Amino acid sequence: MGRRRRAKDRRALLDTKLTELMLFAKELCPSAVVEVSTIQYEDEDGHVHVFTPPGLSEEEEDRIEMAVADRAGKIFDETGLYVLCAVFDPVVA
């Protein structure tokens, strides 16, 4: 298999796993805004940012962040894809 084919397969796998993480975050907190990115910094393959709704407790934010990070860790173990995940307070305009 050529290098171009491997890169294409890895990108397809990354897209699949980012979608999986996004849907998992939405399952944990349906009213959250979830953004994914394939921008790579150093050894990262992608990012998942979860913006929680106003009024969500810090404990609930921590629970969501830990659950998404745990899932990302399992994805890393299975695929080698390194996806950083973070939960942010809502942006209030």
* Domains of the chain with bracketed CATH: 3-88 (3.30.70)
H/E stretch holding 25: helix 3-28
Instruction: Give which of 58, 63, 3, 72 is closest to 28, Cα–Cα.
Output: 63
Rg (CA), the chain: 14
Instruction: Give which of 51, 39, 32, 42 is closest to 14, Cα–Cα.
Output: 39
The arithmetic mean of pLDDT across residues 61-72, rounded, is 97
Average pLDDT of the residues of the chain:
92
Are the C-beta atoms of 21 and 85 separated by less than 8 Å? yes
pLDDT for 7 beyond 80: no
23-46 confidence digits (pLDDT tens): 999 999 999 999 999 988 889 999
